[in-house]
A and B are shown apart, each in its own frame.
Chain A
Amino acid sequence: EVQLVESGGGLVQPGGSLRLSCAASGFTLSNYEIYWLRQAPGKGLEWVSYIGISGSTKYYSDSVNGRFTISTDNTKNSLYLQMTSLRGEDTAVYYCARDPQLGMDVFDIWGQGTMVTVSS
């Protein structure tokens, strides 16, 4: 079964750091474009970061650029989001999602999400 499973969320103080993981199964992560998206409580969907096939290209939203880093580990078939200098407005459910085909730029497989709460 093609699946993404996130982990690593939790409660962190403002200014703190957290690393999210997204484990893929049923397909090889490095063969796909993969995204991180987030959803603040009661709010809509927001794109956070992108990594291209084989980690070739990376993009970040303006709101996280310089604070978040996306990466992959092909040996573990996993995606990561290293988050630093966390702020209250980073509180959200974080999802990883897959683009089904190079250049399609939509999200066909999503993880179940992991909650990040930034609060003192």
Chain B
Amino acid sequence: EIVMTQSPDTLSVSPGQRATLSCRASQSVSSKLAWYQQKPGQAPRLLIYGASTRATGIPDRFSGSGSGTGFTLTISSLQSEDFAIYYCQQYSNWPPWTFGQGTKVEIK
């Protein structure tokens, strides 16, 4: 099973500032890495797949990068609606499909 580890657990950022979230895989997942956003009481929403491809309707302030074992989600200028929990997910080696523990982006 591939273990996904996200850092930091919590990120405090001011509105308008950049947020950088990290995700590391216990073995290479190539570019088979997705990012999701989850707000309280809601289902997750797909943001990024293929490590860097934005899903339909996702604003271009969200960008993903990386390959192999190290990945980054960058939110270029945080808007109020971006404060949420973000999860990475690998789909290189399955089952199981595995997620990181999440990074909470909170208002500084």
Contact = CB atoms under 8 A, between A and B. Distances in A.
Interface of A: 35, 44-47, 50, 59-62, 95, 104-108, 110-113
B43 A95 contact: yes
Contacts of A60: 95
Interface residues of B, number: 24
A98 to B, nearest CB: 10
Given A95-B43, A108-B46, A44 B102 contact: yes
Interface in B30-54: 32, 34, 36, 38, 42-46, 49
B101 interface: yes
A68 B49 CA distance: 29
A44 B5 CA distance: 12
Contacts of A104: 49, 91
A35 B34 CA distance: 16
7 closest A-B pairs (Cβ-Cβ)? A105-B91, A110-B43, A59-B95, A47-B97, A45-B99, A106-B34, A106-B49
Contacts of A35: 97
Nearest to A113: B43
